[in-house]
Amino acid sequence: MTLTVLSAAILGAISWTFLEYVIHRWLGHDARTRPNPFAAEHVRHHSEGNYFAPSWKKAVAAVLFTAMLIGPSIALAGVAAGSSFVAGLITMYVAYEVVHRRDHTHPGSGSYMKLIRRHHFYHHFTDPHFNHGVTTPLWDWVFGTLQPPGLIRVPPKLAMPWLVDPSTGDIRPEHTKHYALLKKQDS
């Protein structure tokens, strides 16, 4: 029973990473599926950089998602496994929200967080047709939208405070290997 519950929770977490990719790629970037509420918030996030949809909207989405999934999950897998699947999915959704916000607001630490941040910022600042995963590049690899980040050129108006030295206005030295400010001649 414990293994089943744990497996269901892990499957739920993996399922969120797939949904994250699908929502971001097709609801956020595919003109055929717009307009939709996610796309409106997403376009604003891309254009303002430090804008995030209000937490109450994310909480409502989590509650609605839970309400939609819990019944079918329990019907298919039983109370323990079905509930664990939904708990794993919603927990990973919350983790996604934390990782995404921290990517934009903190310099980050650890090789995985730095890797996933560069993956995400390639999407933001280089080419929005690639690197749709925020917590993992797995689905970008599966669907052929994975691009190695290389040097990421960030428009000055969208540069995150942790990236720029306020005294010089340039990229902080510890980030120059992976980031540069986009200059007018670069555009």
CA distances from 118 to 14, 16, 69, 111, 123 (A): 21, 21, 32, 11, 9
122 contacts: CB under 8 Å, gap ≥ 6: 130, 131, 147, 148, 149, 150, 152
Answer yes or no: is 124 within a domain: no
Name the residue type at position 83: S
Of the two residues 119 and 2, the one the predictor is more confident about is: 119
CB 178 within 8 A of CB 152: yes
Note the pTM of the prediction, 2 decimals.
0.90
CB 121 within 8 A of CB 151: no
Mean pLDDT of the chain: 92
Answer yes or no: is 143 within a domain: no
Phi, psi angle pair for 119, to nearest 5°? -55, -50
* Residues 30, 23: Cα–Cα separation, whole Å: 10
Range among 36-45, 46-55, 74-83 rated most confident:
74-83
Answer yes or no: is 73 within a domain: yes
Answer yes or no: is 154 within a domain: no
Answer yes or no: is 48 within a domain: yes
* Residues 32, 159: Cα–Cα separation, whole Å: 30
* Residues 83, 163: Cα–Cα separation, whole Å: 41
Answer yes or no: is 10 within a domain: yes
Where is average pLDDT lowest: 9-18, 87-96, 110-119? 110-119
Give me the count of residues in the chain. 187
* CA terminus-to-terminus distance, the chain: 57
Question: In which band, very low, low, confident or very high, does the pLDDT at 187 lie, cut at 50, 70 and 90?
Answer: low
Answer yes or no: is 26 within a domain: yes
Answer yes or no: is 28 within a domain: yes
Residue closest to 133 by CA, chosen among 7, 28, 10: 28
Query: Would you state the pLDDT for residue 97?
Result: 93
Query: Rounded mean pLDDT of 91-113?
Result: 91
Domains identified in the chain, total number? 1
Residue 153 clears pLDDT 90, i.e. is over it:
yes
* Residues 28, 129: Cα–Cα separation, whole Å: 11
Q: Find the domain containing 11 and state its range.
A: 2-110
